[in-house]
Structure 1
Amino acid sequence: KKTLSDAEQAIRMIRQHAKEWGINPNQVGVMGASAGGHLAASLSTLYSSDETRPDFQILLYPVISMVPGITHGGSRKNLLGDNPTKELEDAYSLERRVSPRSPQAFIVLSADDGAVPPMNSIGYFLALNQQKVPVSMHIYPIGGHGWGFRDNFTYKRQWTEELEKWLRDGVKFEKK
């Protein structure tokens, strides 16, 4: 899809301008929330070359699966249409697309998310873990969906501190 190629072009552009912008070209990641989490995870599992592979992924309450009963219905319809084939559903169910070359991940969500079922994140975590991809997942008991960086999210301080610690100490970058 066009959105995925746009995301790949963004990674390519960041790496091409890394020196000029003072960025390490081997430490370029992707972050997305909800449906944007599906795009970030798509880039992390469906990238077309090492040049466009992110070095890490940060996912907030992401849509991952396109399987009915697990997915977010609106995201599924917007991405796949009204009557997708089983092949299309499988292609965009990212828990099925994880490989040992998928980038390390930080995932955060709320257990009571009524919009995007937690099974999206849990299934993706299990797939990453099975492929021995480093993954850190944080599930908070309440918060629902869409809290992002909102100050009134009960666990904002906890999750942002965990993310900062992971970025500082937990991310292991490959020698390229």
Structure 2
Amino acid sequence: MKRSLALLSFICFAQATMAQITIPLYPDSIPNSKPTTDKESSVVGADGKLRISYVTRPTLTIYQAPKEKATGTAVIVCPGGGYSILAASHEGSDVARKFNEMGVTAIVLKYRLPNDTTMINKEIGPLQDAQQALLVVRARAEEWGIKKDQVGIMGFSAGGHLVSTTGTHFQYNYVTGQPEKKVSKKSPLRPNFLILIYPVISFSDSLGHKGSRTKLLGDNPSAGKIREYSNELQVTKLTPPSFLVHAKDDKTVLYQNSQEFYDALQKNKVPAEIYFYEKGGHGFGMINKTSEVKWMDLLQEWMKSNKWVR
């Protein structure tokens, strides 16, 4: 009996392992990088959460939706961490598995963390990785059972800043260093939708998360750079439809970040939905313990209304 259970456990583990693969984000050299020693570190804290630091070699981990459930939709997931670390489990792999239950293929992006010693220009490193992720996912869409026009991108906290930047700066290819020849809703660098969870949106003095801004832009960014990366100011009619979640008592990233981005979307007639928790603080991942409302259920309904899931 014990042997049978052990065999069953092994088979289940093998099936789970087969369901996900990790690949390098760039097939060859990594753009905008300096020669450096790989110091990447992965640590599971006392809270059981995995945190990754010193990321210099970006990867994609693909959690393919089961064939019997697959809808053709994919979401690239960008964990948060103030551009200092990546909260890789509760804002990454855990979320990916939940998407699989919805029939969505999830791709967790382990993006580079900005650092002057590892990058020529640290402010564009994470954005290069997000854009490359979109290009790779669309290039391999048929292989992974994905529809090219159903590729969204999701970010938590500073990952939300990266995602909102990706959704507002696609007129330029930061990987190649060239402007896009034609910018439209069908642009390959434009996500089909954005999911922003307690996101850093603004880099302004009044709203911005100073730690994220300093990590990305340095100690004394110019007014022009602050405006460029304050994404509530960069919304246009081509910004993708968006779903936002925030807690009003978030003291780390003020909820007005989400409110101002939502207001800009409304002004530009971009479809959007926002949900505010009264409490919950920052960094609660999929579960806000102060409320019975599960925002992933709300997200699923929003995705259903847009025919991205069944």
TM-score, normalised to structure 2, is 0.53
Tell me, yes or no, if structure 1 residue 5 matches structure 2 residue 128: yes
Q: Which residue of 2 is the match for residue 17 of structure 1?
A: 140
Cα displacement (A) at 1:156? 6.3
CA distance in structure 2 between the aligned counterparts of 1:153 and 1:22, rounded to whole angstroms: 35
Tell me, yes or no, if structure 1 residue 76 matches structure 2 residue 209: no
Structure number with greater Rg is 2
Q: Which residue of 1 is the match for residue 295 of structure 2?
A: 159
Tell me, yes or no, if structure 1 residue 120 matches structure 2 residue 257: yes
Q: Which residue of 2 is the match for residue 143 of structure 1?
A: 280
Please list every run of 5 or more consecutive structure 1 residues that lacks an aligned counterpart in the other structure.
none
Counterparts of 1:10-159 in structure 2 under 5 Å? Answer: 10-47=133-170, 48=172, 49=180, 50-150=187-287, 153-155=289-291, 157-159=293-295
CA distance in structure 2 between the aligned counterparts of 1:106 and 1:172, rounded to whole angstroms: 14
What's the Cα RMSD here? 1.4
TM-score, normalised to structure 1, is 0.93
Cα displacement (A) at 1:172? 6.5
Counterpart amino acid of residue 136 in structure 2: M
Please list every run of 5 or more consecutive structure 2 residues that lacks an aligned counterpart in the other structure.
1-123, 173-179, 181-186
Q: Which residue of 1 is the match for residue 304 of structure 2?
A: 168
Q: Which residue of 1 is the match for residue 119 of structure 2?
A: none
Q: Secondary structure at the match of 2:150?
A: coil
Q: List per-residue Cα deviations over 1:89-113 (Å, max 9, x = no partner).
A: 0000000100100000000010000
Cα displacement (A) at 1:125? 0.5
CA distance in structure 2 between the aligned counterparts of 1:104 and 1:110, rounded to whole angstroms: 21
CA distance in structure 2 between the aligned counterparts of 1:104 and 1:168, rounded to whole angstroms: 13
Runs of 4+ in 1 over 6 A off after TM superposition: none
Cα displacement (A) at 1:154? 3.0
CA distance in structure 2 between the aligned counterparts of 1:6 and 1:146, rounded to whole angstroms: 23
Aligned length: 171
CA contact (8 A) 2:130 2:166 kept: yes
Q: Secondary structure at the match of 1:76?
A: helix
CA distance in structure 1 between the aligned counterparts of 2:231 and 2:272, rounded to whole angstroms: 15
Q: Secondary structure at the match of 2:249?
A: coil
Q: List per-residue Cα deviations over 1:44-101 (Å, max 9, x = no partner).
A: 0011351110000000000000100201110111111111110000000000100100
CA contact (8 A) 2:286 2:294 kept: no
Identity of aligned residues (%): 42
CA distance in structure 2 between the aligned counterparts of 1:111 and 1:149, rounded to whole angstroms: 16
